Amino acid sequence: MHPIEVLERYWQHTSFRPFQEEIITSVLNQEDTFALLPTGGGKSVCFQIPALIQDGICIVVSPLIALMKDQVNTLKEKGIKAIALTSGMAYKDLDTQLDNCIYGNYKFLYLSPERLQQTLVQERIQQMKVNLIAVDEAHCISQWGNDFRPAYKNIVSLRQMHPHVNCIALTATAKHNVVDDIVKNLDFINPKIFKASFARPNIVYNVLHTDDKLFQLEHLLKTYTGTSIIYVRNRRATIQINDFLNAKGFSSTFYHGGITNKEKQERLQQWSNGQKEIVVATTAFGMGIDKANVRTVIHFNLPESLESYYQEAGRAGRDGKLAHAIILKQHIDEDHLRKQFLSTLPSVAFVKTVYNKLCNYFQISYGEGENTMHQFDFKSFCSHYKLNASITYNALLLLDRNAVITLMQHFNFRTKIQFTTTNAVLFNYLERHLDLNVLVKVLLRTYGGIFDYETKVNLSLVIKKAKLSEKQVIEQLQRLEKDEVISLQMANTDSEITLLKPREDAITINPIARNIEQQHTLKHRQIESVLTYIKNDSVCRSQQLLRYFGEKTNQDCGQCSVCKAKVLSTDATSIKTIKLQIINHLEKQALSSRQLLEHLKCSEQVLILGLSELIELKKIKLTPANTYTLI
């Protein structure tokens, strides 16, 4: 079957995006292939189509569980047999799934690089008829790549198991040294390298300084109408800004990693089909989402790297039409960025301390604990050992990334309840225990199948609906269990940790010490690159991004905040008019930039340019109250 026929049959497209057909041809010619395609460039098709054409199964290595599940579900919907080996899978289930890959005519096996290290997995892969090895997010293999994961270094073992099978590596962001690392570490032979340009000429990149981000956000959303994503730093901010926008009459919802899978699907669906025009989200939102008509992506807080910014901004304008990517900044943002991402980096000594405390917390003896799973209450752990929560969390992430532990965060929905009596027995019981009526009714009305099967229950929701304290709800549930009215599985943990190695304390951490220090160095460089980008008001924004990724260009985009400021600075008439209007308004009273913007009805760029020149000429000054007044 020809690639275009497969594309039409399964994806209902009649033509390929740029580079896709050339990459697919390279893979089908059994060449080792490297594909650097921007966000939204259709990377997955580049390995999925060749795998479907050839006999056998394609092994896909990916670090992102959510993306693995999403791609497997999408393939299944198309009638294509695919499996994802996610963490937390029981040995029996893992054994069955691997057998399915050997004997069940499956076309795709998705797994993490850590899963690939398991002996059982390696033994079964050797028995499979593998037609292609695909390495997604391949930049993770490089110590200088964004989100380096040492386990990626072991992917080369797949090539040793199947030396005659070619490999494709895919990523959206990789600088020259990272590309060289990928090619070397995956043992590519005469690779065919395909690099799409990082240029997105239909996206206007802007960095706007503002004293009032919420006001500026409202102003931007009224100016640039259409589907929007607003990225914020934390979960609390998603809720607060969503509430603000709804109060202002915008159609908005919010999304973060702590909401339930059902809520995620509902909110994604509402945003995707246009019921909600705006989504306020953490960076948990967007991976694998291909909505073509996003008109605006606004970063309410500074991004942590230009790699992540390029990917997130690149979710705008995938239909090729004009779109805007905007960073809002204040003077205090620089300190906030350094504090959040640099001051909380754990030292190697602190990582050793956390690992030691973790083993003590789980009562693991020296030389033991390998592949054991433990319920984990993060807050309790930090409180017990008097550890700083932010630095401790980052230490756990480092241990996870370096394959010492696996950290699974569950947040809510760890409690399971099923009523084990009949209706008649339950209501007789409630007549004798009137104080339990409210809780039981809330459970029955909230969870329809709770009589028929074990049901995951959101305790926070039950507490809110029953108008009882957490302590009261727990005590009442325990009484219902004791009286054999319900079966109750209750976990007071927010996470699950699997120890991947036997406990050796310092001996376990010493081999990854160099990796930790390199990751710290990389994080410092990334933060400084972001700060350089937002401060550089003399070079075109698009040019800055292209040069960061190694593309040389001297051509201005003509649309970004820097390019427009250059045009305005040469337009003496416009600036002179704005300066006169500013002075006229300030003669009556001192005004903030927000108030001036409302009066003048000009763009913020023009206003800032006019204010800057008047301050330089010593015609006006900024007061301690952040208002402007005449001198």
Q: Domain boundary residue among 144, 173, 195?
A: 195
> Residues 309, 399: one domain?
no
Q: Domain boundary residue among 195, 218, 247?
A: 195
Q: Give 44: exposed, middle or buried? Use CB within 10 Å, 0-12, 13-18, 19+.
A: buried
Give the Cα separation of 625 and 557 in Å (integer): 37
Angle at 474 between CA 472 and CA 479, to 5 degrees: 95
Look at 174 and 57; give whichever has higher pLDDT: 57
- pLDDT by residue (tens digit) across 329-379? 998 999 999 988 999 999 999 999 999 999 999 999 999 998 888 888 888
What range defines the domain where residue 225 resides?
A: 203-330
What is the per-residue pLDDT for 92? Answer: 82
Mean pLDDT of 106-117: 90
Cβ pair 178, 19 in contact under 8 A:
no
Establish if 64 belongs to a structural domain. yes
> Residues 7, 118: one domain?
yes
Percent of the chain's residues with pLDDT above 90 = 55
Residue 459 pLDDT grade (very low, low, confident, very high; cuts 50, 70, 90): confident
What is the per-residue pLDDT for 534? Answer: 95
Residue 128 pLDDT grade (very low, low, confident, very high; cuts 50, 70, 90): very high
Give the Cα separation of 183 and 187 in Å (integer): 6
What is the per-residue pLDDT for 453? Answer: 84
Instruction: With CA atoms as reference, report the closest residue to 44 among 7, 2, 77, 15.
Output: 7
Residue 514 has pLDDT above 70, yes or no: yes
Q: Domain boundary residue among 330, 350, 380?
A: 330
> Residues 309, 265: one domain?
yes
What is the per-residue pLDDT for 578? Answer: 87
Domain count, the chain: 5
What is the per-residue pLDDT for 119? Answer: 87
Angle at 402 between CA 397 and CA 405, to 5 degrees: 65
Instruction: With CA atoms as reference, report the closest residue to 282 among 306, 303, 305.
Output: 303
Establish if 77 belongs to a structural domain. yes
What is the per-residue pLDDT for 411? Answer: 47
- pLDDT by residue (tens digit) across 289-329? 778 899 999 999 999 999 999 989 999 998 889 999 999 99
Q: Given the DSSP bridges, would you call strands 455-457 and 415-419 parallel, antiparallel or unpaired?
A: antiparallel
- pLDDT by residue (tens digit) across 65-94? 778 888 898 899 999 999 998 765 777 888
Q: How far is CA 498 from the centre of its chain?
A: 22
State the CATH number of the domain containing residue 598.
Answer: 1.10.10
> Residues 63, 152: one domain?
yes
Comparing 54-63, 122-131, 448-457, 565-574, the range with the smallest average pLDDT is 565-574
What is the per-residue pLDDT for 240? Answer: 95
Establish if 112 belongs to a structural domain. yes
Instruction: With CA atoms as reference, report the closest residue to 512 among 163, 153, 20.
Output: 153
Establish if 503 belongs to a structural domain. yes
> Residues 506, 594: one domain?
no
Establish if 535 belongs to a structural domain. no
> Residues 297, 240: one domain?
yes
Establish if 241 belongs to a structural domain. yes
- Residue 461: both structure tokens together: 């929701």
According to DSSP, residue 346 is labeled: P
Residue 412 pLDDT grade (very low, low, confident, very high; cuts 50, 70, 90): very low
Cβ-Cβ contacts under 8 Å for 262 (sequence gap 6 or more): none
Instruction: With CA atoms as reference, report the closest residue to 13 among 110, 70, 90, 78.
Output: 78
Residue 595 pLDDT grade (very low, low, confident, very high; cuts 50, 70, 90): confident
Q: What size, in residues, is the chain?
A: 631
Residue 563 has pLDDT above 90, yes or no: no
Residue 602 has pLDDT above 60, yes or no: yes
Instruction: Tell me the DSSP string of 81-122.
Output: -EEEE-TT--HHHHHHHHHHHHHS---EEEE-TTGGGSHHHH
Residue 623 has pLDDT above 60, yes or no: yes
Provide the b/e sequence for 303-332 (b: ≥16 CB within 10 Å).
Answer: bbbbbbbbbbbbbbbbeeeebbbbbbbeee
Give the Cα separation of 85 and 98 in Å (integer): 9
Q: Given the DSSP bridges, would you call strands 108-111 and 252-255 parallel, antiparallel or unpaired?
A: unpaired
> Residues 271, 420: one domain?
no
> Residues 274, 228: one domain?
yes
Residue 413 pLDDT grade (very low, low, confident, very high; cuts 50, 70, 90): very low
State the CATH number of the domain containing residue 265.
Answer: 3.40.50.300
> Residues 167, 241: one domain?
no
- Residue 148: both structure tokens together: 């380096």
CA quadruple 468, 472, 475, 480: dihedral positive or negative?
negative
- In terms of C-beta distances under 8 Å and separation of at least 24 residues, what long-range contacts does 95-103 make, across chains too? 95/120, 98/124, 99/124, 101/57, 101/128, 102/127, 102/128
Instruction: Tell me the DSSP string of 172-229.
Output: S---HHHHHHHHHHTT-SS-EEEE-----TTEEEEEEE-S-HHHHHHHHHHHS-SEEE
> Residues 483, 609: one domain?
no
Q: Give 137: exposed, middle or buried? Use CB within 10 Å, 0-12, 13-18, 19+.
A: buried
Establish if 459 belongs to a structural domain. yes
> Residues 165, 87: one domain?
yes
- Does residue 280 sit in helix, strand or coil? strand
- Residue 354: both structure tokens together: 């956390």
Look at 46 and 146; give whichever has higher pLDDT: 46
Cβ-Cβ contacts under 8 Å for 403 (sequence gap 6 or more): 114, 117, 149, 150, 151, 500
**Alpha-helix runs per DSSP H in 285-386:** 306-313, 333-341, 348-361, 378-385
> Residues 156, 227: one domain?
no
Establish if 34 belongs to a structural domain. yes
Comparing 130-139, 581-590, 621-630, the range with the smallest average pLDDT is 621-630
- Mean pLDDT of the chain, nearest integer: 89
